[in-house]
Amino acid sequence: MRKWQTIEKEAIADLETLEMNDLKAKVLESEYLRFESCDSTQNQLAQHKHLKAVMADTQTKGRGRLGREWISTKGQGLYLSWRPDLDHLRFKEIPYLSFLVAGVMADLLNRKYPKIDCCIKWPNDLLVGTQKLGGILCEVKTQGSDLDIVVGIGLNLRKQAFDTSISLEELGLVLDVEDLETVRWADLFLDQLIEAQSELMLGQFSVILERWRQYQIPMGTRMKQREIVGTYLGIDDFGNLRLRSEDGQIIQISSGEVQIASILPNLS
């Protein structure tokens, strides 16, 4: 079990001062921080290079992919950032990290709740049906040849305010208080991710993508990206999205956001 050092809401100002104090000393001795409230777990983890993970009960400036705001109400979800140990990962291999994290999260959720049918929408949204249960944000900063990679993880535990979202509570999967304990979820995900990250360092990209494909949205799902509309054909060996357009052309998409136009039932 990890030892999470809790930073109370009133104490964050002490952490941000230039002077060394008792709180800073505790932080420097810690690898895992839990904030009662902070701007963003991504920002805090990027700022404190010695930390392995940061979580928060609430975020005031939480963010998702493409700079979107991630609503982070206290008690409603897991808000976690993780720094993987990938010292020698090459820049061109970084996209596989997103597939690794999404696949590991979907695998854990489907094994824990066999009836949930959690699937992945390219590249890393966790869905139940067409509603979002969780999401992932990978951010990379470079300094010379060094890479600092921070992975943001969000999971909806209680009812959300948006029709496009779903939570474990709404799915009837909260059977006891442990199912809402954010520290427990953080430890569960981190255990699996730390074990799986060696796949990246060993170049086992096919293993990473095969796990991801196991939980991908159903083939034939209609998807769109701006003016492009097509049926889902899966991903290629580099993680690019493949669609068949309405005129029969095969379209490859390597970046950006896609939406689901209509989803087919998963009959597998």
Using CA atoms in the order 188, 194, 199, 201, what is the torsion angle rounded to 10 degrees? 160
Query: How does residue 256 score in pLDDT terms, banded at 50, 70 and 90?
Result: confident
Choosing from 198, 214, 230, the residue where a domain stops is 214
Percentage of residues of the chain with pLDDT beyond 70 = 87
Please tell me whether residues 150 and 238 are part of one structural domain: no
Residues 64-70 have a mean pLDDT of 62
Please tell me whether residues 45 and 107 are part of one structural domain: yes
Residue 255 lies in a domain: yes
**Of 88, 91, 123, residue with least CA distance to 105:** 123
Residue 239 sits in which domain range?
Answer: 222-262
* Type of residue numbered 231: T
Residue 268 lies in a domain: no
Residue 127 corresponds to which tokens in the numbers above?
A: 């869905």
Structural domains of the chain, count: 2
Instruction: Tell me the range of 116-125, 139-148, 161-170, 253-262 where mean pLDDT is highest.
Output: 116-125
Please tell me whether residues 150 and 236 are part of one structural domain: no
Please tell me whether residues 163 and 134 are part of one structural domain: yes
Residue 267 lies in a domain: no
Residue 53 lies in a domain: yes
Place of tokens 């709404």: 170
Q: Tell me how crowded residue 81 is: count the other CB atoms within 10 A of its CB.
A: 25
Residue 105 lies in a domain: yes
Residue 114 lies in a domain: yes
Quote the strand ranges of 58-145, DSSP E.
77-82, 119-121, 125-128, 131-143
Please tell me whether residues 200 and 81 are part of one structural domain: yes
What is the domain-level CATH number for residue 88? 3.30.930.10
Please tell me whether residues 41 and 153 are part of one structural domain: yes
| pLDDT higher than threshold 90 for residue 179 | no
Please tell me whether residues 132 and 196 are part of one structural domain: yes
Please tell me whether residues 57 and 9 are part of one structural domain: yes
In the structure, how many helices (H) and strands (E) does the chain have?
A: 7, 13
What is the domain-level CATH number for residue 245? 2.30.30
Q: What is the DSSP letter of 167?
A: -
Query: How does residue 267 score in pLDDT terms, banded at 50, 70 and 90?
Result: very low
Query: How does residue 268 score in pLDDT terms, banded at 50, 70 and 90?
Result: very low
Contact by Cβ (8 Å): 37, 12: yes
Please tell me whether residues 176 and 116 are part of one structural domain: yes
Residue 65 lies in a domain: yes
Please tell me whether residues 10 and 67 are part of one structural domain: yes
pLDDT score at 192 = 97
Q: What integer best gives the mean pLDDT of the chain? A: 87
The region of weakest confidence among 6-10, 17-21, 108-112, 159-163 is: 17-21
Q: What is the pLDDT of residues 81-125, one digit of tens each?
A: 999 998 888 888 999 999 999 999 999 999 999 999 999 999 999
Residues 4-23 have a mean pLDDT of 68
Please tell me whether residues 139 and 86 are part of one structural domain: yes
Is it true that the peptide bond before 123 is cis, omega within 30 degrees of 0? yes
Question: What's the predicted TM-score (pTM) here?
Answer: 0.90
Residues 41-47 have a mean pLDDT of 92
Residues 65-69 have a mean pLDDT of 61
Residues 159-182 have a mean pLDDT of 82
Please tell me whether residues 96 and 154 are part of one structural domain: yes
pLDDT score at 42 = 93
